[in-house]
Amino acid sequence: MTTAVPYPPDAPPRRRLLTLRTALRSPVFLVGAAVLGFWVLCALVGERFAPYDWSATDPLQKNLSPSWDHLFGTDRLGRDVFSRVIVGARDVLTIAPAATLLGTVAGTAIGLLTGYLRGWVGQVLDRLNDSFLALPFLLVALAFVAARGPSSTTVVLAIAVGFTPIIARTVRAAVLVEREKDYVVAARLRGERAPYVLVAEILPNVLGPILVEFTVRLGYAIFAVSTLSFLGAGVQPPSPDWGLAVAENRGFFQLYWWPVLFPCLAIASLVVAINLVADALREATA
Amino acid sequence: MGRFLLRRLLSAAATLLVLSVVVFAFLNVLPGNPGRAIMGNLADEAAVQALNDELGYSDPLPTRYFRWVGGVLQGDFGQSYAFQRDNGPLIWDALFESSKLALMAFSLVVPLSLAGGVLAGLRKGRLADRTISTVGLSGIAIPEFVSGLFLVFLFAITWEWFPGQARAEEGANVLEQAYHLVLPSLTLVIVLFGYIARMARAGTIDAIESDYTRTATLKGLPRSTVLRRHVLRNGLVPTVAVVSTQVGYLIAGLAVVETTFVYPGLGSLIIQAIPKRDFPLLQSAILVVGILYMVSTLLGDLVTAALNPRVRLGSEG
């Protein structure tokens, strides 16, 4: 015996960190992170760098096709589409992370409880979860928005409510595996109470799947925010949000394609970027 | 098989019951007032109250819940505020239109994605696999209205091959209708391809790496026989279950696709009912979606069970 065995023995933390680091160096991750970083930057300081004021209308300059003056053209109110696309990252990149975080926290709490507690509490929560999962997520969100009326807060809550059972299921599955392991049994035999075992022992060991689920859900949250805005059930005018911009200009798509196509490209690049990051993380922790 | 079926039916019924309570609670406990929604902001309070009474909105919640569920069980889906019609025919007509679109999308996507997934599985890690996996992933990630509008931009505006609106003229024949449904179906195909292909790929890889495939190969069977009789037959079982759960997704996806292509299906009916706060229509339509989803999941489970005795006889996981 020369060195102490690191604890927990079945998951040496140093190796885990190393695989994570190599995965984060993969080109797929880097491309995704670069595009994501660009949009985050746009959301934070885009307003200062946009060539025009995103909200300024100009009746003499409406429906101009793309040119050097207006890279992406102008919309039906004469607003610069390029500036609106830049600033349009702001709403979606505020709402989606907030909703995902809320759903992850709530889902983790429920997942920990249903995975660890046997007996009727776990069973009742499980049944409720199943019936939620039986509905397509977008419909749950739409019903919620229908009941409360569209606003940014409603969208955050709607998406969080929709995500909670999905994340709870992932966390529950991970907890079911962990609870049988020696370190949990040891803690229980030591006489630790359930809250301590859950938070101090099990939670740190299921953070990996939670992180992966978070990034995957974040991609879907952006999908959902744009879709709700597109359906008129999300962010409201005059926000330059991409989904909303598409909805507002869609009627004239055949004549003026630029105020529709550029926000579409922005949405596509953002969701694909986040999915690349999520995929790299999933492979690193797998 | 009988006991398995019974158990699944009971659990589906229990989930539906909870579902109806959840949908009802969502739409009725939260603030909102149909009388006000119908009569507008200018109507006076007494008139709004009278209309609420007439619609039965002033009754206690449990009464309203049981009236609704009791009606649905007898085939009465209530009255729509916005359309001033019975919900039943509204929902069934819309569902009929939606199923045309869904049928077309499914008949395109199932063969395509199975072929793509199996090919990716057989060439695991090679270029074909990486291309198919990346394309599939992007298709899932991008919202339907974005990919739909890309398709419209390319095929309806730039090249003018297909119409950009899904609705054929009144009395158009089947071919004409199918022609109008090409772009919306392709939009759904883009999204569904990734899911189904990913499952088919995983199943194929599992089957290739299994002992029975090794045995079959070592026994000296020709490669095509090994693939057909051992790899595909086992590898595609999990995919069946996924195809059936996609029906539920399909209906939500339809809401967006139908709105994008201006098509009068169940999805766009629900979307139209939301700003009008047409709660009776919404709760019944959403319940119908839930029922459809349960039925398709159940069918998928039954097919899986029929194909795999371990699921049928063993305990449910």
Confirm if B141 and B195 have CB atoms less than 8 A apart: no
Q: Which of B18, B26, B273 sits opposite A144 (nearest CB)?
A: B26
Instruction: Identify the band that residue B281 occupies on the pLDDT scale cut at 50, 70 and 90.
Output: confident
Which of A165, A141, A167 is CA-nearest to residue A154? Answer: A141
Is pLDDT above 80 for A95? yes
Q: What is the pLDDT of residues B128-183, one digit of tens each?
A: 888 888 888 888 888 888 888 888 888 888 888 887 777 777 777 777 788 888 89
Can you tell me the distance from the alpha carbon of A101 to that of B22, in angstroms, rounded to the nearest whole number?
23
In the prediction, which pLDDT does B311 show? 63
Stated pTM of the model: 0.80
Instruction: Identify the band that residue B31 occupies on the pLDDT scale cut at 50, 70 and 90.
Output: low
CB–CB contacts below 8 A, A to B? 141
CB contact under 8 A, A144 and B152: no
Confirm if A150 and A247 have CB atoms less than 8 A apart: no
Q: Is the peptide bond before A238 cis (omega within 30 degrees of 0)?
A: yes
Q: Which of B14, B145, B297 sits opposite A246 (nearest CB)?
A: B145
**Length of chain A, please?**
286
**Measured between CA atoms, how close is B314 to chain A, in angstroms?**
20
Is pLDDT above 60 for A7? no
Q: Which of A134, A142, A279 sits opposite B137 (nearest CB)?
A: A279
> Higher model confidence: residue A225 or residue A125?
A225
In chain B, the percentage of residues whose pLDDT exceeds 90 is 0
Nearest CA in chain B to A216: B141
Confirm whether the ipTM is greater than 0.95.
no
Within a 10 A sphere around the Cβ of B145, how many other Cβ atoms?
26
Confirm if B142 and B127 have CB atoms less than 8 A apart: no
Element (H, E) at A183: helix A182-189
In chain B, the percentage of residues whose pLDDT exceeds 70 is 90
Within a 10 A sphere around the Cβ of B246, how many other Cβ atoms?
23
Q: Which of B137, B271, B286 sits opposite A275 (nearest CB)?
A: B137
Which of B178, B181, B172 is CA-nearest to residue B148? Answer: B181
Structure tokens at B151: 């398709």
For an interface test with A, which of B274, B296, B301, B316 has the most A Cβ atoms less than 10 Å from its Cβ?
B274
All residues at 6 or more sequence positions from A157 whose CB lies less than 8 Å from its CB, including other chains: A99, A102, A144, A148
Mean pLDDT of the B51-57 span = 75
Mean pLDDT of the A96-115 span = 92
Residues from chain B that touch A261, judged by Cβ atoms under 8 A, are 149-150, 153
Q: What is the pLDDT of residues B74-110, one digit of tens each?
A: 888 888 877 778 888 889 999 998 888 888 888 898 8
Does the CA dihedral B20-B26-B28-B34 come out positive or negative?
negative
CB contact under 8 A, B251 and A274: no
CB contact under 8 A, B249 and A134: no
In the prediction, which pLDDT does A244 show? 92
**Measured between CA atoms, how close is B180 to chain A, in angstroms?**
16
Is pLDDT above 80 for B282? yes
Within a 10 A sphere around the Cβ of A121, how many other Cβ atoms?
11
Nearest CA in chain A to B260: A250
Can you tell me the distance from the alpha carbon of A39 to that of A269, in angstroms, rounded to the nearest whole number?
9
Can you tell me the distance from the alpha carbon of A158 to that of A156, in angstroms, rounded to the nearest whole number?
6
In the prediction, which pLDDT does B317 show? 39
In the prediction, which pLDDT does B310 show? 67
CB contact under 8 A, B141 and A143: no
CB contact under 8 A, A231 and B19: no
Is pLDDT above 80 for A284? no
Q: What is the pLDDT of residues A160-209, one digit of tens each?
A: 988 888 898 888 888 888 888 898 889 889 988 888 888 888 998 888 88
Structure tokens at B55: 């619609």
Mean pLDDT of the A103-112 span = 93
Residues from chain A that touch B164, judged by Cβ atoms under 8 A, are 253-254
Can you tell me the distance from the alpha carbon of A267 to that of A263, in angstroms, rounded to the nearest whole number?
6
In the prediction, which pLDDT does A16 show? 54
**Measured between CA atoms, how close is B209 to chain A, in angstroms?**
19
**Measured between CA atoms, how close is B308 to chain A, in angstroms?**
24
Q: What is the pLDDT of residues B288-301, one digit of tens each?
A: 888 887 888 788 77
CB contact under 8 A, B27 and A146: yes
Structure tokens at B164: 């950009």
Q: State the number of CA atoms in the 13 A half-sphere of B303 facing the CB.
A: 16
CB contact under 8 A, B293 and A145: no
Is pLDDT above 60 for B260? yes
Instruction: Identify the band that residue B30 occupies on the pLDDT scale cut at 50, 70 and 90.
Output: low
For an interface test with B, which of A29, A138, A154 has the most B Cβ atoms less than 10 Å from its Cβ?
A138
CB contact under 8 A, B146 and A144: no
In the prediction, which pLDDT does A5 show? 46
CB contact under 8 A, B141 and A147: no
Is pLDDT above 60 for A2? no
Is pLDDT above 70 for A45? yes
**Measured between CA atoms, how close is B222 to chain A, in angstroms?**
35
Q: What is the pLDDT of residues B206-255, one digit of tens each?
A: 888 888 888 888 888 888 888 878 888 777 777 776 677 677 677 667 88
- pLDDT, averaged across chain B: 81
> Higher model confidence: residue B136 or residue A118?
B136
Is pLDDT above 90 for A35? yes
- pLDDT, averaged across chain A: 83
Which of A161, A158, A159, A148 is CA-nearest to residue B28? Answer: A148
Those residues of chain A whose CB sits closer than 8 Å to some CB in chain B are 127-128, 130-132, 134-140, 142-148, 219, 223, 226-227, 230-233, 243, 246, 250, 253-254, 257, 260-261, 264, 267-268, 271-272, 274-275, 279
Confirm if A196 and A220 have CB atoms less than 8 A apart: no
Can you state the percent helix, strand and coil of chain A, rounding each to 5?
75, 0, 25
CB contact under 8 A, A261 and B153: yes
Mean pLDDT of the A27-51 span = 89
Q: Give me the residues paired with residue A74 across strands.
A: A80
CB contact under 8 A, A253 and B145: no
First CA to last CA distance, chain B: 16
Q: Which of A134, A231, A274 sits opposite B259 (nearest CB)?
A: A231
Comparing B16-20, B38-42, B277-281, the range with the smallest average pLDDT is B38-42
Alpha-carbon Rg for chain B in angstroms: 24
Mean pLDDT of the A237-245 span = 89
**Measured between CA atoms, how close is B229 to chain A, in angstroms?**
32
In the prediction, which pLDDT does B84 show? 77
Is pLDDT above 50 for A88? yes
Can you tell me the distance from the alpha carbon of B217 to that of B212, in angstroms, rounded to the nearest whole number?
9
In the prediction, which pLDDT does A269 show? 92
Residues from chain A that touch B255, judged by Cβ atoms under 8 A, are 138-139, 142, 231
In the prediction, which pLDDT does A286 show? 64
In the prediction, which pLDDT does A1 show? 40
In the prediction, which pLDDT does B221 show? 85
Is pLDDT above 60 for B314? no
Distance of CA A249 to CAs A64, A81, A92, Å? Answer: 13, 11, 18
Q: Which of A139, A246, A254 sits opposite B289 (nearest CB)?
A: A139
> Higher model confidence: residue A227 or residue A26?
A227
